[in-house]
Structure 1
Amino acid sequence: MASVTETTMPSEVLSVVRPLAWRMVAERRGSTVWEAESKQHGRVAVKVGAPIDEKRGYTALAPAREATVLHALGRPHVAYGTWERGTWSVQPWYDGDDLWSLWSGHRNDPSAPIDYLTAAECVESVDRLHSDGWCHGDIQPAHLIVTGGTDGVRLIDLAFARGGTLNGLYEFPYPGCLVHYEAPEISRDVLATGTAVPSPSADVYALGASLLIAATGMRAMVYPDDAERPVQRQAVVDNKRRPFDLPDPFGSMLDQMLSYEPCDRPALSEVAAEFRKAVAPG
């Protein structure tokens, strides 16, 4: 990591992190994320939010809202607060590869065997969140961090999660997620009203879409690459499912997870059990 200068992060964040070094991980859609080395807190993820525009001001609130979710779940977090354009948060950094990066080899060689162990760990990570009484609302391959150790898969980016009572200062209506992973009922409601109610069954759909795109590079639904989000969402509502041919139980489980009706999607415990049975001995 490169040395830092005091002008890169808001002063409110610098006073908490006091970073020795850092690197920018992402800067998009009103959110900037760094990995930083802090003498006091060790390696941390630093998130700073700002509004994209008048309609998408939630990006300014997301970092602090995620911190309150972590607090409600009893998960590690360092600090959060406000700055002149929005909110920020600091939480532990988790080592590992996100699912999209880890499965690049399978996308390049479709004949490669399915990584059933990782698939099962991803499913179990989401199932644990549901068991805690929460749904994620923004599952995608980049939010599934495969640690390769006893921690299994870490489910990150919980700013859209719903479940418990949070600090109302940082609440905002659920705006939907990346449409590649959006369940039909979510797309339908967002098109109609601008918001929706995330649910465990929508998470099941999103996880199925995430596993599909990470393994094959294909979206679950067919729409032009440059389509605007309303066009994408209408394709989801119209159920323009892309056919795929994957070995079972991977293919059959994904097909069920991507069912149009929420009640037709399987329990995650069932999916995890099928994937576990398919893990090669040794």
Structure 2
Amino acid sequence: MPKTTETDQTNRPTPKRPSLAQLRQDLHDVTTATDVRLTQLRADPRKGAQQLYQQIQRRLAKQADAEAAFQHRLHYERRFWQAGQLVAGIDEVGRGPLAGPVITSAVILPPDFDVPLVNDSKQLTAKERERLYPIILDRAQAVSIGVASRELIDQLNIYQATRVAMQRAVLGLGVAPNHLIVDAMQIPVALPQTRLIKGDAKSASVAAASIVAKVYRDHLMVSYDQLYPGYGFAQNAGYGTAEHLAGLQKLGVTPIHRRSFAPVRQIMSD
């Protein structure tokens, strides 16, 4: 059967439109609403083409909202960058678990850092955090980790041990910051500090630090799960889940369990 061609109102042959599958493939990299290909797609009368146009518009709007929110999370840093200063964001993870250390991170971002997905680690999926972790390590001007061991936590208390871990993270940076942005705590270092409630949702630097600390500690707890099986450390990261508490009852206390925390102390006294 001979091939037919589309014709316009004057019966002149017109180029055949690409298939919808081809359109999706061709337009997957559209990043701006002014892309000429969107104008052409909008003029395509096919229902599937119009649905694709609306999908792309929603995606672009979502990306624009994410970029605007990210730029807002940089407004603390921008004040210091404009003055030629380095600012470090500091955050912690692991204050609540019954086992394992508190991990803190200090991150100095460069003024041209532009990764809009960087947000409070609790707002991200594990897959998103894993993807962002190497990006932050690669693009940050400096990254450092501070650790408060189980022994230090039991010796000082969880709050003071966390402050020590944050201090260690700041002092471990390869370059010295001029200012710190901290998630709600005061760090014992001689540097000016901006303390923010829920700072990981308000500052991109603190958000980056929260991601680094979270991924680092999660990896550590996976290793502990292999060393001390039966508590579910790879899944619960040391928090007092039903699986973890059942493991404590059955297997007892490991060297990484915090003796000063009530559920562990209770097991040890039974």
TM-score (norm 1): 0.22
Q: Which has the larger radius of gyration?
A: 2
- Asked which structure has the greater RCO (Cα within 8 Å, sep 6+), the reply is 2
Q: 1 or 2, which has the higher strand percentage?
A: 1
Structure number with higher helix proportion: 2
